[in-house]
Structure 1
Amino acid sequence: MSAKPFTFPIKVLPDDIDFMGHVNNARYLNWVQDTVLAHWQKLAPAEEVASKAWVALKHEITYRRPAFLDDDVIAETVLEKIAGARSFYNTVIRRGEDVLAEVQSMWCCIDAKSLRPARISREVAETCFGLPGKPKAQTGS
């Protein structure tokens, strides 16, 4: 089983445009955040969405091409793996066939009340996000 891509449409707004006439680089990070959170909210069970929150730990972004006002932009993200409270996403932002940016990001899941790191259950990782669970330990013979 492998994780399935999640697609999120993006509307380029006048406030996204910088002095050079294209989308400001910082706006791409907002798009990644919007996409990752929408992915979680769409696929996770309601009780998980209500009890958990996300904070970004790291983003590595490669800009390929600029985006402009009124472009039809799509972000496609894949949850690559979950390790404890951390989740690793790959997000590609496109305009048609053109790749505008590629982003690898690491996020920490936190308990919404205590704000402490919180693990995603194996069951949620497997059933909701299509991530393979760890193999069960074999008993000795």
Structure 2
Amino acid sequence: MSHRFALRVYYEDTDLAGIVYYANYLKFIERARSEWVRGLGVDQARLRAESGIVFAVRRVEADYLRPAVFDDLLEVETRLVETGGARILLDQEVRRGEERLFAARVVLVCLAADGRAARLPAEVRQKLVQAA
């Protein structure tokens, strides 16, 4: 199962050439991941406050396929690929209609308050598994 997040390209998202600045795609997929986790019923602020657990990006492999421009309506699709003890692997795509503009493979890790890897809490793992 995948999650979809719609967004519009604003002037501030573009560069001098009038296309979306490359780093903004990372912001777009971050927003989509945040909404995906929220939609699963995971309250990240509560998780941090109660257990010190946070999610961090460990790795991103990104492919910039086609440019988006001002006022485009885009959709970010997030798909869970796999979960490990402390790791979540996702595929994310940014589309304009049926046209793929950007694709990324993202590795998230679960961290404890001291910055070390921590196992995914059981309730979070269960929500991820149910959504897959």
Please report the TM-score for the alignment, with normalisation by the length of structure 1.
0.79
Please identify runs of 4+ aligned residues in structure 1 that moved more than 4 A.
Answer: none
Any conservation in 2 of the 1:73–1:95 contact (CA below 8 Å)?
A: yes
Structure 2 unpaired stretches of 5+: 48-52
Q: Deviations over 1:78-136 (max 9, x none)?
A: 1111111111110011000100011001011223x44432222455334x22369xxxx
- Structure 1 residue 32 displacement after superposition: 1.3
Give the aligned partner of residue 22 of structure 1: 19
Residue 9 of structure 1: aligned partner: 6
**Could you report, residue by residue, the CA deviation over 1:3-27 in whole angstroms, capped at 9, with x for unpaired residues?**
x101111221111100111001111
In 1, distance between residues paired with 2:41 and 2:81?
A: 16
**Alpha-carbon distance in structure 1 between the residues aligned to 2:58 and 2:123:** 24
In the alignment, the residues of structure 1 paired with residue 100 and residue 59 of structure 2 have an alpha-carbon distance, to the nearest angstrom, of: 21
C-alpha distance in 2, partners of 1:108/1:44? 19
Greater Cα shift, 50-59 or 63-72? 50-59
Per-residue CA distance 1:35-73 (angstroms, 9 max, x = gap): 112211220444x65223221111111111100111010
Q: Which moved more, 1:20-29 or 1:113-122?
A: 113-122
Q: Which runs of 5+ in 1 are unaligned?
A: 133-141
Q: Secondary structure at the match of 1:130?
A: helix
- Which has a greater percent of helix? 2
CA RMSD of aligned residues (A): 2.0
* Pair member with larger Rg: 1
Q: Return closer, same or farther for 1:45/1:27 CA change in 2, 3 Å cut-off.
A: closer
Distance 2:25 2:124 in 1: 28
Letter in 2 for 1:23: V
Superposed, which structure 2 residues align to 1:16-55 within 5 Å? 16-46=13-43, 50-51=46-47, 52-55=53-56
Give the AA of the match of 1:125: R
- Alignment-derived partner of residue 98 in structure 2: 97
The residue aligned with 1:108 is 109
Counterpart Cα distance in 2 of 1:45 and 1:57: 20
Match for residue 74 of structure 2? 73
Q: 1:22 to 1:45 in 2, by over 3 A?
A: closer
* CA distance in structure 2 between the aligned counterparts of 1:131 and 1:7, rounded to whole angstroms: 17
